Amino acid sequence: MATVSGGELLVRTLVESGVDHVFCVPGESFLSALDAMYDATAQLRVITCRHEGAAANMAEAYGRLTGRPGVCFVTRGPGATHASVGVHTAEQGSSPMLLLVGQIPRGHADRRSLQEVDYKQLFGGMAKFVAEITDTARIPEYVNRAFHVAVSGEPGPVVLSLPEDVLTDRCTPGDPHRAEAAQPRSNALGALGIEHELAEATRPLMIVGGSSWGEQACADAVAYAEANQLPVATAFRRQDLFDNYSSSYIGELGMEKSEAFKARVRESDLLVVIGARLDETTTGGYDLIDPGSAPRLIHVHPNLAELGALYQPARAINSTPGDFLAWLRETTSVISAPWAEGTIAAHADYVDSTTPVPAIGDVNLAEVIAHLAANLPDNAILTHGAGNYAAWIQRFYRFTRPGTLLAPPSGAMGYGLPAAIMAKLVHPERDVVSISGDGCFQMYPQELATAVQFGAAITAIVVNNGSYGTIRMHQERAHPGRVIATDLRNPDFAALARAYGAHGETVETTEDFAAAFKRAQETGRPALIELRTSIEDVRPGLTLDELRADGPRT
């Protein structure tokens, strides 16, 4: 029987596992695998990035968007350490992801060889599974296991290290087999439990979050909440899981929480948490929802280890959101809902909060985001990274469908542009808009070249306030007037975009944005719009002066 190289066997197994994109920066450590991809380009698109951090972000975002592991392939040492940000984000955000690392040859191990790293140690605290493959014939076994682990229960990242000579050695391949995810399931008791708890509650709150949702699960959540007039908040960076126009929606437990919203969360007497793991931001630094004094909790989560780990649920249900919500479809609605008026008031407060607030600068980001909300189709994909600019997206954009927000629960700067490029490659028919601060964008601006090379016609909006604004905000609060390390002297972003072969424009007034955005979209090419905003507008409705005086404007 014909033998194959480890590289061929790896690529064959990836294709058999349904992998259609690999995001990489090439390295000499995995030439054999790259060579095998040469013959597989009909099934496998190889996206060459300029930085492994961006490639890993693309793979993480692919997992978040599709529910299937995004694959990133990098070289040892510097490649793997660059890529670690994507693994971290996948861990924080429960996204299925596979990082493949070309490793030093087996015979050079434990000599502190060039770029030698022990990946079990490096990624041990971040990934669900880390392994080094030392036998070429076992490549399919490891890849299958990696896929199984990445998507089963609570999804997450896995890392496989592939020594160079394991990839060049030859073996006789066995029969292929594809990994199937094993999922925890709910049953009728779980659904009945929520009915019993609601019968005792007067101020319940449903929180939806985490990954593993689909269109059906999201529709079921809306149907159940509306039928029972339950108020629903989304967890941090999960605003697209619940129709923001639903009469039950009351806002995101994100960075930007109004006092009235916080009070409602504090006053709840029952939390029905579906899919979310009650992370630090969602819980307001473990203060708004305090593990020591949290209200009664029904916690539905696909990871058994997460249930009861920090918050003590009255009812712990080990299930995917979709399976649990499918059972809820079968249960009857509550007879009376004493909380109904509260839900109406909370939703009205949310809707009010989406009305743009004034700004000091000539570009009002609130108006810009409201324009996007009003004009983009409901399947448009928005991406962003970390920075205060994201607070405007959270507050003034309204999501209606899952898979339309790609943003890192890890709070990693630099996520938005790579995530957008990936999304446009996977969904060329959909509008994809990345929004980044000037700091955030400059983590991976070079990926504009990747967008141009692969024809990913995204629109990248750069919110340029000449500052690492978030840190400036914290700085002004903690050390008023003592500004250090946060000012940014920036390039001409539009010219930079043009240098990469993209369309580039600068917008200096709110009124000019709509036409610039239309032009950008009509080019059919990657495009960048720089918004010249003012650092004075440090948060929606809050100026630096007001911040120093410690008083928000709205």
Could you tell me where the beta strands, DSSP code E, fall in 32-76?
Answer: 45-48, 70-75
Nearer to ligand TPP, 276 or 538 (CB): 538
- Determine the interface stretch with ligand TPP among 293-301, 343-351, 399-407, 410-418 (rule: CB under 6 A): 410-418
Rounded Cα distance, 87 and 122, in Å: 11
Supply φ then ψ for residue 462, to 5 degrees: -110, 120
Q: Does 437 bind ligand TPP (CB under 6 A)?
A: yes
Nearer to ligand TPP, 9 or 59 (CB): 59
Rounded Cα distance, 324 and 306, in Å: 16
**Smallest distance from the beta carbon of 221 to ligand TPP, in angstroms?**
30
Q: How far apart are the first and last CA of the chain?
A: 74
Angle at 386 between CA 418 and CA 279, to 5 degrees: 110
Supply φ then ψ for residue 469, to 5 degrees: -60, -40
**Smallest distance from the beta carbon of 93 to ligand TPP, in angstroms?**
14
Nearer to ligand TPP, 10 or 412 (CB): 412
Rounded Cα distance, 249 and 164, in Å: 52
Rounded Cα distance, 164 and 144, in Å: 20
Q: Does 161 bind ligand TPP (CB under 6 A)?
A: no
Considering only residues 33, 131, 393, 440, which one is a binding residue for ligand TPP as defined by CB under 6 A?
440
Rounded Cα distance, 504 and 526, in Å: 9
Nearer to ligand TPP, 327 or 396 (CB): 396
Q: Does 439 bind ligand TPP (CB under 6 A)?
A: yes
**Smallest distance from the beta carbon of 408 to ligand TPP, in angstroms?**
9
**Smallest distance from the beta carbon of 290 to ligand TPP, in angstroms?**
25
- Determine the interface stretch with ligand TPP among 98-106, 249-257, 405-413, 450-458 (rule: CB under 6 A): 405-413
Q: In a 3-state reduction of DSSP, which class is residue 434?
A: strand
Residues 446-485, interacting with ligand TPP (CB under 6 A) = 465, 467-471
- The closest of 162, 168, 83, 163 to 127, measured between CA atoms, is 83
Considering only residues 438, 447, 505, 530, which one is a binding residue for ligand TPP as defined by CB under 6 A?
438
Rounded Cα distance, 536 and 543, in Å: 5
Q: Quick one: 70 exposed, middle or buried, by C-beta within 10 A (0-12, 13-18, 19+)? A: buried
Nearer to ligand TPP, 184 or 418 (CB): 418
Nearer to ligand TPP, 86 or 231 (CB): 86
Contact 367, 414 (CB under 8 A): no
Q: Does 383 bind ligand TPP (CB under 6 A)?
A: no
Nearer to ligand TPP, 20 or 362 (CB): 362
412 Cα distance to chain centroid: 10
Number of residues forming the site for ligand TPP (CB under 6 A): 18
Q: Does 413 bind ligand TPP (CB under 6 A)?
A: yes
Rounded Cα distance, 444 and 448, in Å: 8
Considering only residues 388, 506, 510, 543, which one is a binding residue for ligand TPP as defined by CB under 6 A?
388
Nearer to ligand TPP, 302 or 439 (CB): 439
- The closest of 207, 194, 169 to 6, measured between CA atoms, is 169
- Determine the interface stretch with ligand TPP among 202-210, 238-246, 383-391, 446-454 (rule: CB under 6 A): 383-391
Which stretches of the chain bind ligand TPP, using CB under 6 A?
386-389, 411-414, 437-440, 465, 467-471
